[in-house]
Structure 1
Amino acid sequence: MNYHHLHYFWTVAREGGVSRAAEVLGVAQPTVSAQLAALERAVKQPLFVRGGRGLTLTEAGKLAYDYADEIFRLGGELQAAFAEGRATTPRLVVGVADVLPKLVVHRLLEPVLAGEERLVVVEDKPERLVAELALHNLDVVLTDGPAPPGVKVRAFNHLLGETGTTFCAAPSVKLAGRFPRSLDGAPVLLPLDSTTLRRALDQWFAEEGVRPVVRGEFADTALMKVFGAAGAGVYPVPTAVEGDALEQYGAVVVGRAERVRNRVYAVTVQRKLRHPAVAKVCETARTDLFG
């Protein structure tokens, strides 16, 4: 197989068409088309089919793209390592969606520190992280839902697990009645209404017929817990890490809502989890945290 041909194919697949790939590569369109044809002759299978909206990968093309993606990602890392004159050190670069609870993230990534990999964590909005993932600046993205549909990136979503929701509060917060009726009229601290968890909480409140008083909305769930520890109101935490929350923030359990689910996904550009540290994170999630 000619890897020069493979690089042209990979660029066409990433850019979504021959004309755009030709611009990126700085060559004429017929040159790109000729390279694609040569690669298809080499593998003896069509890699693209033409449709109403341009080129679409065949099943053989999808397989070729997965391998080419890994090949050129590794090639880029090797080139950067030589250019910087540094020894290559195994590392795991993780994008963490800012909506994920920090306690969950810590539990997921803690085993990486026990290995040989150097852990690098980047926090941002999910759509920005997935875009960085496509550029191979990240090895994996941890988020509360599948890759955002508006991001034009070919990504694979791996559900690591899910858990219910525990409502916590400082001992100084006094509530009347039994849970969940005790939340009616009670002060609560919640994540922003743009998050998956907040939408699930609002639906659960409506189903239970309770109307809490929202005293604060937070993009940073760790900050939300700090306000909760100060007695500002009742706040939700994933049930899987409620013990950590009670110990760290000195809270007490108000009640649990199993129907309000907290999910964690690992988003990658590979169908299979090839990075050993990513596989370790996923195994920890499924056996220790959510198991």
Structure 2
Amino acid sequence: MDFLNYHHLRYFWTVARTGSVRQAAEDLGVSQPSISAQLKLLEESFGEKLFHRSGRKLVLTEAGQIALTYADEIFSAGRELTNAISQGSNNRATRLNVGMTDSLSKLIAYEILKPAYQYSRPTHVVSRQGELAVLIHQLQAHRLDLVLADEPATTSLKTKTYNHRLGRSGVTFCATPQLAAKLRRGFPQSLHGAPALLPSDNMGMRWALEAWFDKQGVRPQLVGEFEDSTLMEVAAAGGLGFTTVPTVVDQAALKHYGLKVIAKVEECGSDFYAITGERLVKHPLAKVITENAYSHLFAESPEPE
């Protein structure tokens, strides 16, 4: 394929987003046979099937998923180009593409990103979530400006990246008011056999918690493991068990979910990182958020042992 036909790509993109040829045809104001013909031409140019049928539904193939990811970015960039030209240089938004790992507390992520929205010029922050390895690949492909994570990128990822440690936070054990009052008495031994909602066992925070439990000689009853920290906090708010949140944002979490503190433990915590493809943080918005994290959000955080 010598060049990409963006007309065909838009037809594909609309079908993928609407989930059907019929709906795409209505949205684009063309016939269904026309949509089908354009899709076939695009598949032939790629040499790959982009959809397969599952009953009456069109489901993206692996190649289709890749194409959709790029199509989202292409047409998003097109809208930004139109807006940028129409707004003029003085009002043009500074864009920051940031990735964040699934395990990263969304409250932490918000606090890190918040200064970007207080920048002196208009901003446009695009956040993407995923596994660290996938995000690092996107960073290397210059589709992300930086990655926020609660673990460093390691040499096993076989990419040249730089870990900028933003700071460290202890953990706050919390639960619904009734359960928190019960577990507060005799902590940490009170956690033995208590229902626990913890990060998945592939996450650094889980390892730190397990090591701390072993040190205290307690073994909670695991009732739920989560890769999504927000879902874990929602489950705790539902009374399913106790959980933990980073201490630096615990007040926001407690207020939002109606949880109460059981205890705060500084020795059991997580480090937080901004990962970039260059040694120095150069992007203006990336500099703003990392410098604010150093000087304010994690200003009182202890050094790692």
Distance 2:283 2:184 in 1: 51
SS of the residue 1:99 aligns to: coil
Distance 1:90 1:256 in 2: 39
Aligned residue identity for 2:284: P
1:145 aligns with 2:133: no
Query: Where do 1:237-256 residues align within 5 Å?
Result: 237-256=245-264
Q: In the alignment, what sits opposite 1:132?
A: 138
Distance 2:81 2:267 in 1: 51
User: Quick one: which of 167, 180, 194 aligns to 2:188?
Assistant: 180
- Extract unaligned runs of 5+ from structure 1: 1-76
Aligned-pair Cα RMSD in Å: 2.0
SS of the residue 2:183 aligns to: coil
Aligned residue identity for 1:110: K
How far does residue 175 in structure 1 lie from its aligned partner after superposition?
2.8
Aligned residue identity for 2:125: L
User: Quick one: which of 169, 191, 208 aligns to 2:199?
Assistant: 191
8 Å Cα contact 1:99-1:221 kept in structure 2: yes
Cα deviation 1:53-109 (Å, max 9, x = unaligned): xxxxxxxxxxxxxxxxxxxxxxxx9xx87x966636420000001110011001111
Distance 2:137 2:224 in 1: 31
How far does residue 287 in structure 1 lie from its aligned partner after superposition?
1.9
Distance 1:136 1:258 in 2: 36
1:278 aligns with 2:282: no
1:114 aligns with 2:122: no
Q: Percent identity?
A: 41
> TM-score, structure 1 length as denominator?
0.69
SS of the residue 1:150 aligns to: helix
Distance 2:173 2:134 in 1: 30
How far does residue 125 in structure 1 lie from its aligned partner after superposition?
0.3
SS of the residue 1:242 aligns to: helix
How far does residue 258 in structure 1 lie from its aligned partner after superposition?
1.1
8 Å Cα contact 2:184-2:262 kept in structure 1: no
Query: Where do 1:1-291 residues align within 5 Å?
Result: 87=84, 89-115=93-119, 116-173=122-179, 174-175=182-183, 177-291=185-299
Distance 1:191 1:148 in 2: 20
Q: In the alignment, what sits opposite 1:40?
A: none
Distance 1:210 1:242 in 2: 23
How far does residue 179 in structure 1 lie from its aligned partner after superposition?
1.2
- Extract unaligned runs of 5+ from structure 2: 1-73, 85-91, 300-305
Distance 1:258 1:113 in 2: 30
> TM-score, structure 2 length as denominator?
0.66
Q: Which runs of 4+ in 1 moved over 4 A?
A: 83-86
Distance 1:266 1:243 in 2: 23
Aligned residue identity for 2:243: Y
SS of the residue 2:266 aligns to: strand
How far does residue 148 in structure 1 lie from its aligned partner after superposition?
3.4
Q: In the alignment, what sits opposite 1:26?
A: none
Cα deviation 1:176-205 (Å, max 9, x = unaligned): 742111111111100000000000100100
Distance 1:175 1:141 in 2: 36
